């Protein structure tokens, strides 16, 4: 197929679709895989705004612009196994000589020298066409829709139930703001965990998308209708989810005025980006769009002030008894800058619930079926259940996911696996391809939110035991380890999840195509990647990580 024909069929802006089936368009599966996943990121089923190449997170893009995207596609279609493509903030900038077990694509997104690492400097570069915001999995081509954060959210809510509610979220009301690409996972995760859920978003299109994909049960436009629904369901012990089209701050104020205290309170608005991600209180979506362009300084002032009010209301509900936690969008920092002095008086989700899992090398292991056939994912589900018969939480999750999770774009799955488990699963998947039990290769990746791949002092590395929250040597070592190990594509980003200046993080994807080469790479990468989390937490003084280190003979 000629390049122009490929573009017309799969990448005619803004309608993007990944090729399906077992036939190659590129020279090998090592380049076909990133090509398909890049296009999958931009599929309208997956991406929040394919017109702007935005995948999720307000402005998180897969490529810098349409022309840069087409150049990346052209390079991937012609690249051989002795070369690797360099991508700088969403633009192909060169091809280097490598070897068949080297990464085929090396990606760096949104990275700025620390003293210049601000939204203001980034925006100037973006306006000049020199940079894009890669978020985490948007710019590293391994986003799989809301399912990508679903299990992590489910694990967090289950941990909250275990810690505060005797392992039982039935008859509990969970309230949160934001129903975009990340927050859109919360309603389904909450109901899967047994809770009644109320989510609030000012943008009705976001809630409509969650309705269409089965992530939310009801959509309403008035506070009274929403409250009547969730309070009735809570009393009956019904795990339903309701999406309210409204301002989250106004909704929290109404709850306070009515004496309604949620059992659990969090937030996942796009607060990391106060200019493009958060809508200030008191203005419509249309007004926000106009003000953002006409007077960005005023917009930022209103946005920060609104976030300060938002967090102040969360603190009031915490004082009234809500179990309140930050879910990693940097809302507390933005609120502090906006005038709320006590913004950090509630904890983030990682130190509160997730860090013990990180100490075991556990994190969001995900995979996608390049065939496009859901039966390939169901085959992997069954293979994992048979391979890990004693991992009852994983088995329970996989069964729930099959029943309740709708695929977006290429069918995919996620489940949290740790040291030893990831390598075993990867080898199992490679064997499924080798023996024809799945119809085409699988790609294995993860969120950048993982045990050893990120430095984010207001999120994953908040309140590290040794005070090393901001040390970003660790994600760099993760990047180098996965590059040396032979991941199929690797990435290093700045600002994902929490915005410019607040994080650095690394991503990896490795191909399972049934070959001996893939097996060798999988053995290295899926050992190295979780090992980084154990090394990182052992070095910080966590006894659980030291025990895991000894368990797997990783002493040095």
Give the CATH number for residue 514.
3.40.1770.10
- Reported as a pLDDT band with limits 50, 70 and 90, residue 522 is very high
358: in domain: yes
- 280 Cβ partners below 8 Å, 6+ apart? 288, 299, 302, 303, 305, 306
The 10 Å CB-count burial string (b at 16+, else e) for 467-500 is ebbebbebbebbbebbbebbbbbbbbbbbbbbbb
- Reported as a single tens digit per residue, the pLDDT across 266-310 is 999 999 999 999 999 999 999 999 999 999 999 999 999 999 999
Whole-number Cα distances in Å, 168 to 163, 193, 200, 414:
10, 8, 24, 24
Final residue of a domain: which of 99, 127, 155? Answer: 127
Final residue of a domain: which of 79, 99, 127? Answer: 127
Hey, is 365 helix, strand or coil? strand
- Reported as a pLDDT band with limits 50, 70 and 90, residue 328 is confident
* Residue 85 to residue 106: CA distance in whole angstroms: 6
141: in domain: no
Check pLDDT > 90 for residue 205.
Answer: yes
- Reported as a pLDDT band with limits 50, 70 and 90, residue 1 is confident
138: in domain: no
| Omega before residue 14 within 30° of 0, cis | yes
**Structure pTM?**
0.92
- Reported as a pLDDT band with limits 50, 70 and 90, residue 182 is confident
Residues 282 and 203 in one domain: yes
Residues 162 and 110 in one domain: no
- Burial grade of 523 (CB within 10 A; 0-12, 13-18, 19 or more): middle
299: in domain: yes
Residues 159 and 117 in one domain: no
Domain that holds residue 157: 147-346
Our CA angle for 219, 459, 174, nearest 5°, is: 30
Instruction: State mean pLDDT over 210-237.
Output: 97
pLDDT at 181: 82
Residues 158 and 246 in one domain: yes
142: in domain: no
Residues 306 and 428 in one domain: no
Residues 535 and 514 in one domain: yes
pLDDT at 431: 98
**Of all residues in the chain, what percent carry a pLDDT higher than 70?**
100
Residues 167 and 236 in one domain: yes
**Of all residues in the chain, what percent carry a pLDDT higher than 90?**
96
Residues 298 and 403 in one domain: no
C-beta of residue 505 within 8 angstroms of C-beta of residue 455: yes
Instruction: State mean pLDDT over 242-252.
Output: 98
Q: What are the backbone dihedrals phi and psi of residue 112, each rounded to the nearest 5 degrees, phi first?
A: -130, 145
Check pLDDT > 90 for residue 393.
Answer: no
pLDDT at 146: 86
Residues 440 and 485 in one domain: yes
Of the candidates 44, 50, 126, 115, the residue with the CA atom closest to the CA atom of residue 90: 126
Residues 201 and 273 in one domain: yes
* Residue 542 to residue 556: CA distance in whole angstroms: 17
Looking at residue 167, which CATH number applies to its domain?
3.40.50.10730
C-beta of residue 169 within 8 angstroms of C-beta of residue 154: no
Instruction: State mean pLDDT over 13-25.
Output: 98
Final residue of a domain: which of 290, 320, 346? Answer: 346
Residues 403 and 519 in one domain: yes
> What is the torsion angle, in degrees rounded to the nearest 10, for the CA atoms of residue 453, residue 416, residue 442 and residue 30?
10
132: in domain: no
For the chain, the farthest-separated pair of C-alpha atoms sits apart, in whole angstroms, at 66
The three state secondary structure string of 503-534 is: CEEEEEEEEECCCHHHHHHHHHHHHHHHHHHH
- 116 Cβ partners below 8 Å, 6+ apart? none
Of the candidates 169, 109, 167, the residue with the CA atom closest to the CA atom of residue 140: 109
Residues 338 and 358 in one domain: no
Catalytically annotated residues: 415
Query: In terms of DSSP H, where are the helices of 325-391?
Result: 331-337, 349, 355-358, 374-387
pLDDT at 58: 84
Instruction: Give the number of domains in the chain.
Output: 3
* Residue 477 to residue 280: CA distance in whole angstroms: 39
338: in domain: yes
285: in domain: yes
């Amino acid at each position: 197929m000629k390049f122009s024909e490929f573009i017309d069929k799969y990448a005619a802006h803004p309608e993007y679709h990944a090729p399906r089936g077992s036939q190659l368009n590129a020279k090998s599966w090592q380049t076909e895989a990133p090509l398909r996943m890049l296009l999958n990121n931009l599929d309208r089923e997956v991406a929040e705004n394919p017109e702007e190449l935005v995948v999720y997170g307000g402005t998180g893009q897969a490529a810098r612009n349409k022309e840069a995207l087409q150049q990346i596609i052209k390079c991937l279609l012609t690249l051989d196994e002795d070369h690797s493509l360099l991508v700088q903030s969403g633009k192909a900038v060169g091809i280097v000589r490598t070897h068949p077990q080297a990464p085929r694509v090396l990606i760096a997104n949104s990275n700025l020298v620390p003293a210049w690492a601000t939204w203001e400097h980034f925006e100037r570069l973006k306006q000049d066409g020199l940079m894009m915001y890669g978020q985490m999995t948007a710019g590293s081509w391994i986003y799989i829709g809301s399912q990508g954060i679903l299990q992590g959210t489910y694990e967090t809510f289950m941990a909250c139930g275990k810690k505060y509610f005797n392992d039982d979220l039935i008859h509990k009301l969970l309230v949160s703001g934001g129903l975009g690409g990340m927050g859109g996972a919360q309603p389904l995760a909450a109901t899967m965990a047994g809770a009644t859920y109320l989510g609030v978003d000012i943008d009705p299109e976001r809630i409509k998308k969650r309705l269409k994909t089965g992530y939310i049960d009801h959509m309403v436009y008035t506070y009274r209708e929403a409250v009547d629904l969730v309070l009735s369901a809570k009393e009956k012990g019904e795990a339903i989810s309701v999406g309210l089209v409204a301002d989250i701050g106004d909704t929290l104020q109404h709850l306070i005025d009515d004496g309604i205290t949620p059992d659990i309170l969090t937030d996942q608005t796009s607060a990391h980006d106060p200019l493009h991600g958060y809508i200030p209180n008191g203005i419509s979506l249309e007004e926000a769009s106009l003000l953002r362009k006409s007077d960005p300084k005023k917009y930022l002032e209103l946005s920060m002030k609104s976030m300060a009010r938002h967090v102040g209301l969360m603190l009031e509900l915490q004082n009234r008894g809500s179990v309140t936690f930050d879910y990693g969008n940097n809302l507390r920092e933005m609120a502090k800058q906006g005038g709320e002095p006590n913004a950090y008086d509630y904890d983030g989700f990682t130190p509160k619930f997730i860090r013990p899992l990180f100490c075991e090398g556990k994190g969001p292991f995900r995979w996608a079926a390049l065939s496009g056939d859901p039966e390939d994912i169901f085959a992997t589900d069954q293979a994992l259940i048979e391979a890990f018969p004693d991992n009852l939480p994983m088995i329970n999750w996989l069964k729930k996911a099959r029943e309740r999770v709708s695929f977006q774009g290429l069918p995919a799955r996620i489940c949290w696996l740790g040291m030893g488990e990831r390598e075993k699963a990867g080898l199992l998947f490679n064997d499924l391809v080798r023996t024809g039990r799945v119809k085409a290769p699988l790609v294995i990746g993860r969120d950048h939110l993982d045990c050893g791949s990120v430095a984010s002092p207001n999120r994953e590395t908040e309140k590290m035991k040794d005070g090393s929250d901001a040390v970003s040597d660790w994600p760099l070592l993760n990047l180098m380890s996965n590059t040396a190990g032979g991941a199929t594509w690797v990435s290093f980003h700045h600002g994902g999840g929490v915005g410019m200046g607040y994080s650095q993080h690394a991503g990896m994807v490795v191909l399972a195509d049934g070959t001996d080469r893939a097996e060798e790479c999988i053995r290295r990468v899926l050992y190295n990647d979780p090992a980084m989390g154990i090394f990182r937490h052992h070095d910080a003084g966590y006894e659980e990580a030291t025990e895991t280190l000894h368990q797997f003979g990783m002493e040095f």
